Structure formats: C-alpha cells, structure tokens
Structure 1
Amino acid sequence: MSIFEGVRDKIKVLNVVGARPNFMKVAPLHRAFEAHPAFASRIVHTGQHYDARMSDIFFRQLEMPEPHVYLGVGSGTHAEQTARVMVAFERIVLDERPDLVVVVGDVNSTLACSLVAAKCHVPVAHVEAGLRSGDRTMPEEINRIATDAVSDFLFVTEQSGLDNLRAEGVPEEKIFFVGNVMIDALVQFREKAARTTILEDLGLKPGGYVLMTMHRPSNVDREEGLQKLLETLEALTEQLPVVFPIHPRTRNRFADFDLAGRLAAVPRLHLLDPLGYLEFLRLMEHAAVVVTDSGGIQEETTYLQVPCLTLRENTERPVTIELGTNALMPLDSDRIARCVTALRAGVYETGRIPPLWDGQAARRIVEVLAGVLEGSEVVTNSP
C-alpha cells in the first residue's frame, strides 16, 4: 500500500531524515507541510543513525509521527552507506512518485537522497543550503557542495549561505533566505525542556558546569587527539564539573586506545550516554560554557546566548562567530581552560541572534514552495 494512499490533488512531499541532527530540522518542516492544505507530507528515515532507542526518544520528544518509511541502512564506510541509501531510496521514489523531496543538513543521507531524486526528475529542496567550511577534508563539506549542485530550491539560514551560492553561480531564483529550522524546534520545545529534571538528577546548578560534546574524526580518531581531550577534561574539571554525553564513536575510540580507564577516573566528570533532545537542550541553556565540535550546537548556543567554544579550525556557520556567541579554538587544554576562566569572569561580548532566527523558518519554506509549486507543471506525478 502506498504511503500516500487516498491523497488526491495535493503536492506529495518526502522529508528525509538520516541522523539525529536531522530530526530537529524535519520536525517543524513536517508540521508546517501538514498544516498547509496544498501538501501531503511523509517522513522517510534512512536509518543512517541506527540506534532505535535514541531515534524513538527524539521522535517522541519532538512530537513527530513514526517514520512512514524506515530504510534501515545502518553504518559503514561513506561509500557503502551512501550507496545503500541510494538503492533503498530509489525504490521508494519509483514506487511513491513524490512531487518533491526535501533534504536537510549535510549527512550522507542528504547527499544520497538528493542524487536519487534528481536522477528520477523529482524536484529537490535543500534546507540549510550554502553553508561552507572551506575544508574539503570534511565529508560533510562534500555532501553540502554536491547536494546544492543538484537541488532546485536552496533554503538558506545565514548571509554566508547567500554569498557562497552566488559565488558558485547558482541562479538567484533558486535561492531563498528563510532562517533556521533548527531554531524553530528550539523555540517550540524550550519550555518543555525546562520541565525536565536533568540538572537536578545530576546535582547541578544553572551556570555551574561545562557541557561538552566531541565526535569529529579530526578530534577523536587519533590517540594524540584523545590524549589532548583527556588533558582538556582534567583542566576543566579543576574549575567546574563537566557534563559529557559521549558519542558512541568517541567512547569506542577511548577503548581502542586503552584510555577508557583514565577517562573514567577524571574527577567531577559526568560521563553520560547520548541524551534526548529535551534533556540536552536544558543542559545547553544553563551551561556556563559549551565546548563542542558540532555544527548545530554552534547555532543553538548562539540563539540561547550561551558562550560556545568550537574545537575546530573552521566553521561552516560563520554567523555564529560574527554575530553569535561562538569562538573557534584548537584542542589545547591550557588555552581552553584560560578561556573558560575568562568566560566565568564575564570577559566576553554578548552576541546577537541572527536575522530570521525567530521560529518561523519552516512556515516560510512551505509558503515559498506552495507559491512555486501550486498549480505548476511540477505536480505531475499523481496517478
């Protein structure tokens, strides 16, 4: 049976999610599509992040329906994972004949599904288009560039996205500056997150701890990087407790290099399994500082006006530095500790929330698509 069974005279949309950061972006998009009479929206979960327990938590907390399709591709090399998504998603596109495929972010599923849709002559909308780090050693950078190249609608979160796409010669009529759907989810669920008990459960006080996430290969795939990370944790916990929801990849690397025992021995370290969206949001909002190598966390801390140290050489989200509360920093324990000392003393500039980061990005995206697609020849895939 078709997932669009009974749908008539509507624009059929497949929203793709693959990894946990996608969930926070697709949740407001799906709701906005469903609230508009022109669209029928369905969710395809590729299973790129395949921890069913964590996926279930995110879908439930973000008040999303169960995925209409689950592809279950699992892990593998970049080539293996991308290929498996393409093969599985092509069957869905050929069977369901959607009018539009929506991809978000920069994970392997984003690239794989955009390529399939483009080759099946289905319009592609890329949400978070135009972001560039300038570092092609990052697999996400390749995914961003290639996805933008085949997309028909490029929805941009910040000025740098506009500048990058224009510099790459993308026609102006394909580009739409709409704001940030990640912030839509934060705005909607901030009050709900405030009702969680994660701070109380950990015995923490607002402003009295550091929140850390770390998972990028450049930081955790080599013993040298993990040694530096341990030195950083030891230096930070001399000042404040550190809450570290540890990515499975990072935990495995500590075990691989026989450093798990030293990690467990760090005093005042709350080493946690990955958290649900609401619990993490509350921890992020009340942290003294967030130390991370994530992309999306740079944006969320900017909106929350929480100081953020991003342990990378570059960022694809420069507005978080130009306007927000983010700063780039190498994985250097002494420098990070000094910076946290200064931040605790109030030695930092309060940032500003970037334009259109107001919780309405998904609505703008749907209105743009309705204006372009309603009544157009694009809607030709319905039987």
Structure 2
Amino acid sequence: MKKIAIATATRAEYGILHPLLVRLMEEKAFDVQLLVTGTHLEEQFGYTVKEIEKDGIPIARKIPILAEDNSPYGISVTMAQAITGFADYFRNGRPDLFLVLGDRTEILGMCAAALNEHIPIAHLHGGELTEGAVDDCIRHAVTKMSYLHFPATEVYRRRIIQMGEAPERVYNVGALGVENILSVPMLSEEEIRKDVEIPAGMPYAVVTFHPVTMQPGEAEQQVRELIAAMREEKQYFYLVTKANADAGGRQVNAWLAEAQRELTNMKLVSSLGMKRYLSAIKYAAFVLGNSSSGIIEAPALGTPTVNIGDRQKGRLMAETVIGCMPEAGAIQAAIRQTEQMPHRPSFLYGDGKTSEKIVKILKEFFHTDYRHWKKTFYDMECK
C-alpha cells in the first residue's frame, strides 16, 4: 500500500480537493494521509476543520503554521513554520508521495520540507498565470520542485513543459472544481436562500475579494471602490465571503465588516463550505470580485463573473467573465453587462473526470521505479 500525503490549508482548497480525496480513499492501493493546516485551524477564518470532520474525512495530522498577522513578515513566519511543521511530519510519516494544489505561500514551505526528505511531489493547477498576485511566483517555484504535474488545460500543460518539465510527467486532467459542479448535489434556490438568509425574490451576487499582493498599498482603495459600487447597485443582495490569509487579508475583512454595518443588503460570512458555496453561485445573478472561483467554477455553472483588477490576469477566461478596473464606475458598468448575458455553462477547464484521471496516473506511477528517477531539464526545440 502506497502512502499519499495531501495538504489543505484553506476552505477553498479543501472544497476543490474533496472529490479526489474521496476517490483515493476508495482505492485499496492507497493510504491517504490528509494534513490539515493554515486557516482551517483558526477561529477568525471560521475554524473550517469542522467542515472536514463533518464530511467524515479522516485527518492524519493537524499542523498549525499561521502567524499572528499577515504582514510580509508574518507571511514569512508562516512559511517558516510550514517548513518546520511539515518537516516533522515527513521525517516520521515518510509518505511515498506528497500532493499539493495551487499557489499559496505556505505551500512553498511544505514542498521545501518534502524536497529535503526526497519525497516526490505531485502538483495540481500548475502552469497558470495570475500576474496580479505573488502566487504566480510561488506556483512556478512549486512546479520546479514537483515531479508529477496535473494542469487544468492544454495551454497550461504546454507552459509547464516550456519550463523544462518532461512531457511524460505532465498530464492535462482538467479542474477538480468542474468535477464538483457536475457531481455534487446542489441545494435548491429556495434552500440556499433560506440557509444563508438571502431575501426571497431579490437577485443576489456572490462576492469574494482577496488582496492583490503584487500591488501593495492598494488594497484599501480597491475595497472602498468595490463597496461604493455595491452601495450604488442596491437592487442586489451581496453575499460576501471573507478574504484569505494572504498579506492584507485581515485588513480586507475588517473593511468588509465595517461596510456590513452600513449596507443592509450585504452579508459577510467566514465560510460557506463547498456545497453551499457552489449552490449560491449557481443561482446568483453574477459573481463579483477577484477569486479564481469566478474564472473556473462560475462559468461551468453558467453564472456571469465580474472580475475586478489584475489578480487573475493571465488565466484563460470564458466569455461569461467580464474584466474591469478596480473603480466603482467600472464595476457598476460591468454589473450592468452581466444583466444582458444568458446563463450558459462553459467547460473551458475539463469534462469533470479529473479525479478519475489522476488516480489512474498515480497507479501507473507507483508501478515504476520512481524513487530512482532523476529530473532532467527538458529542452524544447528553439525556432
């Protein structure tokens, strides 16, 4: 039996990983070790480890790593604590593979610890671009530390190969988020409205706004512009999920909490959980903010997205995604554009069979003498 360690540090990450976790745990060939860390273990972010426990997913270890603040220094402390916390696990746990998703700063620390222990790394969602966030650099660094790659589109697959990763280790498997949409039973519109207290009959938007980490000092102004647009477009109810633990995330949440005291058509929540979050998006008039869920999940549900600013700049985007500047007037104009859009699903990020493909690849991987494989830089032919 091969031991696969999988890390989750945020509510969004766990929701995306869920179908893969379930499928891997059904396989007798694998011993899945779920490592829960980051914001999952913090009350101010909703203590979302409770959602994992409620789902009945066994937790191998809880590894606290989050610093007391998310200043640049605090982020560095979190990364350092990720190295030491995960190094302790890897030293004794010795998994045969470490699987991570995405581009968060703490993942770099986790992967550094795995690398030092000569544990192969499998990386989901590599090859993407998010030019407005430091995540871009983290993602590419993790790509170079990883042995197996599971990008979400063919464009991203080619980009990973361009970075020197051999084609036989890079697999276009689509996005797990699309699989969730096609496989998870959704709540009805009446149920989700009642559950999160959205007024009956009032059109609503799901809002998630994260700090743009490559534009330090601009977060407050951008949040103020978003709030100003919400104040003017008062025909909608705004269901707002809190920002993540990126640098500046706590400040963003404080400004949103301040706005909630003023706006009667707004509700701020720490976490909705995957099922409620996807259900809320499904029946929303539009998604608003700068989260990747507006680029991947919302289009697959047919819900238009108003994508604010540069945080997601560089990602492949469906026609239902409307980009705008982080200015109140531009946001309002984009909202009005969504009103003319048909709610038609777009499957730019795969066919919903991602976890099935990954499990098949991992089975083949473990049948090889992988511990003796060495990565060599794959040179593409230059023209």
State the TM bucket, normalised to the shorter chain.
Answer: 0.7 to 0.9
- Pairing 1:148–2:143 present: yes
Question: Any conservation in 2 of the 1:18–1:45 contact (CA below 8 Å)?
Answer: yes
**Pairwise CA distance, 1:263:** 4.6
- Residue 251 and residue 130 in structure 1: after superposition, are their counterparts in 2 closer, same or farther (change >3 A)? closer
| Correspondent of 2:92 among 92, 95, 103 | 95
Moved more, 323-332 or 66-75: 323-332
Identity rate, percent: 16
| Correspondent of 2:365 among 342, 347, 372 | 372
Q: What SS class does the counterpart of residue 197 from structure 1 fall into?
A: helix
**Pairwise CA distance, 1:121:** 1.0
Q: Which residue of 2 aligns with 1:308?
A: 305
**Pairwise CA distance, 1:119:** 1.9
- Residue 221 and residue 51 in structure 1: after superposition, are their counterparts in 2 closer, same or farther (change >3 A)? farther
| Correspondent of 2:348 among 350, 354, 373 | 354
TM-score, normalization by structure 1:
0.84
- Residue 134 and residue 339 in structure 1: after superposition, are their counterparts in 2 closer, same or farther (change >3 A)? closer
Q: Which residue of 1 aligns with 2:242?
A: 246
CA deviation profile, 1:114-153 (whole Å, cap 9, x unmatched): 2211221111000111112245xx2211210110001000
**Pairwise CA distance, 1:280:** 2.0
Q: Which residue of 1 aligns with 2:60?
A: 68
| Correspondent of 1:343 among 338, 347, 352 | 338
| Correspondent of 2:283 among 286, 290, 313 | 286
C-alpha separation between the residues in 1 aligned to 2:259 and 2:176?
39
CA deviation profile, 1:196-244 (whole Å, cap 9, x unmatched): 833025243478112211122459964422321221111221x322222
Question: Any conservation in 2 of the 1:220–1:226 contact (CA below 8 Å)?
Answer: no
**Pairwise CA distance, 1:170:** 1.8
Moved more, 90-99 or 163-172: 163-172
C-alpha separation between the residues in 2 aligned to 1:242 and 1:220?
25
- Pairing 1:297–2:294 present: yes
**Pairwise CA distance, 1:374:** 2.2
- Residue 26 and residue 126 in structure 1: after superposition, are their counterparts in 2 closer, same or farther (change >3 A)? same
Q: Which residue of 1 aligns with 2:8?
A: 17
Pairing 1:166-185 to 2, within 5 Å after superposition: 166-185=161-180
**Pairwise CA distance, 1:49:** 4.2
Return 5+ residue gaps in structure 1 as ranges: 1-9
Moved more, 243-252 or 349-358: 243-252
**Pairwise CA distance, 1:50:** 2.9
Q: Which residue of 2 aligns with 1:199?
A: 193
Pairing 1:321-332 to 2, within 5 Å after superposition: 321=317, 323=318, 325-332=320-327
**Pairwise CA distance, 1:17:** 0.9
Q: What SS class does the counterpart of residue 176 from structure 1 fall into?
A: coil
Q: Which residue of 1 aligns with 2:182?
A: 187
**Pairwise CA distance, 1:107:** 1.3
C-alpha separation between the residues in 2 aligned to 1:163 and 1:379?
26
Question: Any conservation in 2 of the 1:44–1:68 contact (CA below 8 Å)?
Answer: yes
C-alpha separation between the residues in 2 aligned to 1:127 and 1:342?
33
| Correspondent of 1:363 among 338, 356, 372 | 356
Question: Any conservation in 2 of the 1:126–1:154 contact (CA below 8 Å)?
Answer: yes
Q: Which residue of 1 aligns with 2:376?
A: none
**Pairwise CA distance, 1:272:** 3.7
Question: Any conservation in 2 of the 1:58–1:277 contact (CA below 8 Å)?
Answer: no
TM-score, normalization by structure 2:
0.84
C-alpha separation between the residues in 1 aligned to 2:236 and 2:216?
22
1:246 partner letter: K
CA deviation profile, 1:34-67 (whole Å, cap 9, x unmatched): 2223211110112344335541343156x24242
C-alpha separation between the residues in 1 aligned to 2:323 and 2:285?
17
- Residue 66 and residue 29 in structure 1: after superposition, are their counterparts in 2 closer, same or farther (change >3 A)? same
**Pairwise CA distance, 1:253:** 2.8
Q: Which residue of 2 aligns with 1:209?
A: 204
Q: Which residue of 2 aligns with 1:129?
A: 126
Q: Which residue of 2 aligns with 1:82?
A: 79
2:60 partner letter: H
Return 5+ residue gaps in structure 2 as ranges: 374-383
Q: Which residue of 2 aligns with 1:55?
A: 48
**Pairwise CA distance, 1:81:** 0.6
- Residue 123 and residue 196 in structure 1: after superposition, are their counterparts in 2 closer, same or farther (change >3 A)? farther
C-alpha separation between the residues in 2 aligned to 1:24 and 1:197?
20
C-alpha separation between the residues in 1 aligned to 2:157 and 2:202?
36
Q: What SS class does the counterpart of residue 231 from structure 1 fall into?
A: helix
Question: Any conservation in 2 of the 1:247–1:274 contact (CA below 8 Å)?
Answer: no
